[in-house]
Structure 1
């Protein structure tokens, strides 16, 4: 069971990162509603992978698979990692709501993308890139503070 959970965790991480990179590369200052609809679908994959990652991660932490729950619970680096993951999720709300609202209507109509959407996706990528470093430290039992 642990092996299956770790595999699902791994796949969720790569799906999340891949979909976020796709959003980053597809975003532009102006997009058609058709392109925004495509971004909305990619964002849905992103959201599903984030939810999967959270559920599997919590199962690994609290389910008693692998290392004891205390190993993670007592490591402040783990709490930082979890906090950053939650922060990425909170930041992602703004682009998600924008994509859903703007995907409706004439598919050829152009929409100006607010700078905040572009910067939100950039911030998500920056924060997301820190999490694997923290995961490596946690695996070694290293607390950074």
Structure 2
């Protein structure tokens, strides 16, 4: 039952992360208005919490799940998933920093809206994040079927 519970929470967090990145993509676009800055920043906080939770639950599955750590530690696809997740985390630094800057600027000027050039740059990074994230289910499905196990 623990394995099932961990798997369910793991999958729900993954869907939540996809939703948060998608919401940011909806908000961060040319012509972005001041209220969108605050909302995008809130989604970024939720994204960070979900990402850390997903990582924690994932490793709980490694050590307490039905397959056992041996299965995961000797599986190249598992390590590919971890690496992809790390890449997404690295890409997320730039948008997070931008959201923090934008919120700080709004604290001084309630009508502040970010420059179009920066909005486009952050949007590109978010697009990379969601596309790399889309690779994770492929790796998860392959790993669950024993592909990559040495």
| 1:120 Cα deviation from its structure 2 partner | 0.7
Equivalent-residue separation in structure 2 for 1:86 and 1:122 (angstroms): 16
8 Å contact from structure 2 (residues 17, 51) kept in 1:
yes
The match for 2:114 among 102, 111, 121 is 111
Q: 5+ unaligned residues in a row in structure 2: which ranges?
A: none
Equivalent-residue separation in structure 2 for 1:141 and 1:2 (angstroms): 17
What number of residue pairs does the alignment pair up? 144
1:42-95 Cα distance to aligned partner (Å, 9 max, x none): 11111111111000001111x232102111111111111110001001100110
Q: Which residue of 2 aligns with 1:94?
A: 94
State the TM-score, normalizing by the size of structure 2. Answer: 0.89
1:16-37 Cα distance to aligned partner (Å, 9 max, x none): 1111111111111242332111
Q: 5+ unaligned residues in a row in structure 1: which ranges?
A: none
State the TM-score, normalizing by the size of structure 1. Answer: 0.92
Equivalent-residue separation in structure 2 for 1:30 and 1:73 (angstroms): 47
Q: Which residue of 1 aligns with 2:43?
A: 42
| 1:101 Cα deviation from its structure 2 partner | 1.4
Q: Which residue of 1 aligns with 2:11?
A: 10
Higher strand share: 1
CA RMSD of aligned residues (A): 1.7
Equivalent-residue separation in structure 2 for 1:144 and 1:23 (angstroms): 36
Q: Which residue of 1 aligns with 2:133?
A: 128
